[in-house]
Structure 1
Amino acid sequence: MGNVQPTIVPYPDFDVVADIKAIRKACKGWGTDEQAIIDILANRSAAQRLEIKQAYFEKYDDVSMDPTLPVTMNKNKQELEEVLKKELSGNFEKAIIAMLDAPHVYAVKELRKAMKGAGTDEDVLVEILCTASNAEILTYKDTYFEVHERDLEADIEGDTSGDVKNLLMSLLQGVRDETYDVDEAQAEQDAAALFEAGEGRFGTDESTFTYILSRRNYLQLQATFKIYESLSGTEILDAIDSETSGTLKDCYKTLVRCAKSPQLFFARRLNAAMKGAGTDEDTLIRIIVCRSEIDLETIKDMYLEKYDESLKDALRSECGGDFKRLLLEILH
């Protein structure tokens, strides 16, 4: 949608051997040189970071040929993640580990984490699934199975219920129209159907909202929302506010906001993660790491426009130490 800008692009003078040596040096001896790790990982694309991870694993053999050890132990290759987990801690460690996964692998780990244990973190499911393209949904389903040996649809079906389940299952079909065609007659029909399903009746017919919001292309939806407003005198988000509640309301509002501007949706999520007491660092990591090669530069612009404060300054006052330095470096 429009012209979106990343903050991280492939590093032009990429030298994987130099990088793994520098990371190795940063982790050796007393103390860790966190800044060296930040300088490298926050300035390499996800594909380059995966190369670094692979090369590190192939080159370094940490129980290096100690004659007193059985041969099998000498084959103990070291995973870069394990090395860094030993050296780093807290949110800084979490963010660095997130950067060592391919973005879709990291996303499915977050989906699984949101469903594991007691209760479900629906916000995470909504954020990841409601903003994904058809191709991403397909990749998530395949990757989820590869990483967790579980079926994403079955897990979501088992972990959610009612209208929320119906909506997420509908999104998981990955059947949204992704063209840029706008059919005015369809928009009028949809706007009338949404009105009839919500404000125009007692109670709400969620299946109509779910069908339209999960299938129509973004420009088509924008046209529908305009007609809806002239039809009912209410902005679609206000109508959703008064007609629905809980997670379903969050889902619908996310889908509407993404149809209008995904980047503004992410700017709002970042702001919400920093507002009030405490900071939701997991959300900061997820959005800043996952969007860095897609549209983070544009999200920064939207943030400034909406909140009259730069994202950089907001993070500066909310986060500390190496974690803050890493996020600011990813923002460039």
Structure 2
Amino acid sequence: MGNCQPTIVPYEDFDVMMDIKAIRKACKGFGTDEQAIIDILANRGAFQRQEIKQAYCDKYDDLVDVLKSELTGSFEKAIIAMLDTPLVYAVKELRKAMKGAGTDEDVLVEILCTATNEDIAMFKECYFQVHERDLEADIEGDTSGDVRKLLTALLQGERDESYEVDEELAEEDATSLFEAGEGGFGTDESTFSHILASRNYLQLQATFKSYEQLSGTEILDAIQNETSGTLKKCYVALVRVAKNPQLYFARRLNKAMKGAGTDEDTLIRIIVCRAEFDLETIKDLYLEKYDVSLKDALRDECGGDFKRLLLAICH
């Protein structure tokens, strides 16, 4: 999707032995040297962090256990998240969202509605490796109705990912969407779900433009008026991702910091997972949209070592 800039790249002078000695020293003795841990982990690529975790384990002890015993709160959560690859972390978040009573639908929406076909295939495989469970079966068991149908469709990983735009199809789809929603009696969700889950992003952009010409309404306004609950969240996410995935994540970050209390889990998930893909681009769009830099927003909302770590990942 265009110019995706990461904030974390593999460290050129990587020396795994030096790193694990420094981490061991930071955790030894009285009190923990959190800054030393931040300096290392926020400046190493995900696979380098895997090497650190493995080497530490071979030479000393289980690094995750050591850090869990030394650190607390959101800082601990974020550091532990960084010791998984973004893929493994994502499938752990999916499982966590479905475990226990109730479902954290926002997490399912955020992860599944932004995924490429390749992401979906990797999620399924990795989910099975990590949890020995079937992702599709879990999603089916945990959701219902139109949300289940839509997420199941997304899990087929069959979206057209070409960059070709068929203007005629865009007009047809726009008409179908109009007739399935504003122009009809009641809303036909299957039409919305099919189009939003299967067309390529440029094709969807053309469809949204055509929809607006046809109905005089912006597609997002139509969705707001015609749907509700989790299904609405799914549709809004899919529309926003089709328009600009990085802006979708910038909005999620902003929402996590707005109002009373901060949704630290969402901050961790997006900042840690996107750092190696497009966090630099997300930062640019955040500034453009909210007139405040992401770093300043984090400075205001977060505190202590957690804040220092997130700022370090944002570089």
- Please report the TM-score for the alignment, with normalisation by the length of structure 2: 0.99
Once residues 49 and 9 of structure 1 are traced to their aligned partners in structure 2, the CA distance between those partners, rounded to angstroms, is 12
Please state if 1:34 is matched with 2:34. Answer: yes
Please state if 1:80 is matched with 2:101. Answer: no
1:117 to 100, 107, 110: 100
Give the corresponding residue for 1:139. 122
Once residues 203 and 212 of structure 2 are traced to their aligned partners in structure 1, the CA distance between those partners, rounded to angstroms, is 14
What are the superposed Cα offsets for residues 124-182 of structure 1, whole Å, 9 maximum, x if unpaired?
00000000000110111111111111111111101000000000000000000011111
Give the corresponding residue for 2:59. 59
Once residues 185 and 7 of structure 2 are traced to their aligned partners in structure 1, the CA distance between those partners, rounded to angstroms, is 47
- Deviation, 1:303, is 0.5
- Deviation, 1:4, is 1.2
Please state if 1:268 is matched with 2:244. Answer: no
Give the corresponding residue for 1:48. 48
Once residues 103 and 4 of structure 2 are traced to their aligned partners in structure 1, the CA distance between those partners, rounded to angstroms, is 32
Please state if 1:290 is matched with 2:273. Answer: yes
Once residues 138 and 226 of structure 1 are traced to their aligned partners in structure 2, the CA distance between those partners, rounded to angstroms, is 31
Give the corresponding residue for 1:232. 215
2:132 to 118, 129, 149: 149
Please state if 1:245 is matched with 2:236. Answer: no
Give the corresponding residue for 1:163. 146
Equivalent residues, number: 315
Return 5+ residue gaps in structure 2 as ranges: none
Residue pairs, 1:85-234, within 5 angstroms? 85-234=68-217
Give the corresponding residue for 1:18. 18
Give the corresponding residue for 1:326. 309
What are the superposed Cα offsets for residues 62-114 of structure 1, whole Å, 9 maximum, x if unpaired?
xxxxxxxxxxxxxxxx2100010011000000000000001110001000100
Give the corresponding residue for 1:312. 295
- Please report the TM-score for the alignment, with normalisation by the length of structure 1: 0.94
Give the corresponding residue for 1:256. 239
- Deviation, 1:59, is 1.2
Return 5+ residue gaps in structure 1 as ranges: 61-77
Indicate the structure (1 or 2) with the bigger Cα radius of gyration: 1
Once residues 151 and 3 of structure 1 are traced to their aligned partners in structure 2, the CA distance between those partners, rounded to angstroms, is 34
- Counterpart residue identity of residue 288, structure 2: E
Once residues 51 and 114 of structure 1 are traced to their aligned partners in structure 2, the CA distance between those partners, rounded to angstroms, is 28
- Counterpart residue identity of residue 26, structure 1: A
What are the superposed Cα offsets for residues 184-211 of structure 1, whole Å, 9 maximum, x if unpaired?
1111111111111111101000000000
Once residues 13 and 165 of structure 2 are traced to their aligned partners in structure 1, the CA distance between those partners, rounded to angstroms, is 44
What are the superposed Cα offsets for residues 235-268 of structure 1, whole Å, 9 maximum, x if unpaired?
0000000000000000000000000000000000
- Counterpart residue identity of residue 33, structure 2: D
> Percent of aligned positions with the same letter in both sequences?
80
Once residues 94 and 4 of structure 1 are traced to their aligned partners in structure 2, the CA distance between those partners, rounded to angstroms, is 26
- Deviation, 1:58, is 1.0
- Deviation, 1:6, is 0.5
- Counterpart residue identity of residue 27, structure 1: C
**Which one is further off, 179-188 or 283-292?**
179-188
Please state if 1:301 is matched with 2:298. Answer: no
- Counterpart residue identity of residue 270, structure 2: I
- Counterpart residue identity of residue 231, structure 2: L
